[in-house]
Amino acid sequence: MTIKASEVKLLREKTGLGMMECKKALMESDGDIEAAIVNLRKNSALKAEKKSSRLAAEGKILSGIDLSERIAIILEINCETDFVAKDQSFIDFCNESLNYCIKNSELSLEKLLEESLEEKRQELIQKIGENIVVRRKEVIKSDFIYSYVHGNNKIGSIVSLTKANDTLGEDIAMHIAASAPLVISSEDLDKDLLKREKEIIDAQVSDSDKPEEIIEKMVNGRLEKFKSEVSLLSQPFVKDPSKKVDDLVKENDNAILKFFRYELGEGIEVEKMDFAEEVKSQLEK
């Protein structure tokens, strides 16, 4: 049968897919646009499954606050390339996902995907041709909550305080994003982490010809330095390094209760490929 160009154009506008794929879908549905959309949606699961093994380490960090529900959420959604991270369809999906997570903050990420986000994720994969992963989320439920996302959307944080202070909360959230603390106080550091760090320092000074008591002081000094560098309260405040975060908080008669910091793609091993492999991978999409 003959498929009109206007029908292909309409289907393309509804799905965002390529002209040839739209024409093929219309041919298979005997020109029925709604049936073509249904078939394309059915096929999206197959396409999503095929692309799910591809590494997605680009994307966006998002955060949002619902003061009425006293919740702050931070979310990471990944795609394969920085180009798609700037695509409006991907941005719309990210914002829609964030809003859905805020409205359903009590649900786990797995449940959120199962109930609503998964179908839309698969549709987006079909539309843009890249793997999309809603990777992780964290929620803070508290009375006084603040968030920060850096301008490149690749680093963000959420934090809660014991008292209301918008300036302090926003400054602390920005500091967390910039300085990457692991814990609020050094007392919160994991014992296994400290053990591993001490082993590293011991190995670094093992060849020293200094007396044993000097070596012990060196090890302890470096370990204390490490603890202060990764503990939020011990870090120099990013906007005024002459004072520590602890000083800033005490000056404002406040305290930090909890925080989360996300950096895009952290923990994902990105495989390096040569130019020929990169071209081949693009052709296979």
pLDDT value at position 113?
A: 86
Lowest mean pLDDT segment, chosen from 40-44, 59-63, 277-281: 277-281
Two tokens, residue 85? 């991270």
Query: Which residue's structure tokens are 């049936």?
Result: 35
Question: Which residues touch 53 (CB under 8 Å, ≥6 apart)?
Answer: 131
Residues in the chain, how many? 285
pLDDT value at position 277?
A: 55
pLDDT value at position 24?
A: 86
pLDDT bucket at 215, cuts 50 / 70 / 90: confident
pLDDT bucket at 36, cuts 50 / 70 / 90: confident
More confident residue, 275 or 265: 265
More confident residue, 216 or 254: 254
pLDDT bucket at 155, cuts 50 / 70 / 90: very high
249 alpha-carbon distance from chain centroid: 27
- For the cut 80, the answer to whether the pLDDT of residue 125 exceeds it is yes
Question: Which residues touch 235 (CB under 8 Å, ≥6 apart)?
Answer: 175, 179, 181, 228, 229, 244, 245
pLDDT value at position 115?
A: 76
Residue-wise pLDDT tens digits, 59-108: 999 999 999 999 999 999 999 999 999 999 999 999 999 999 999 999 99
pLDDT value at position 279?
A: 47
More confident residue, 129 or 54: 129
pTM: 0.76
Helix (H) or strand (E) holding 215: helix 212-230
**Mean pLDDT (whole number) for 246-250:** 97
Domains for the chain: give ranges and CATH numbers.
5-51 (1.10.8.10), 55-141 (3.30.479.20), 186-250 (no CATH)
Query: Which residue's structure tokens are 């539309």?
Result: 127
More confident residue, 144 or 47: 144
pLDDT value at position 273?
A: 47
* Residue of 30, 53, 283, 256 whose CA lies nearest to 157: 256
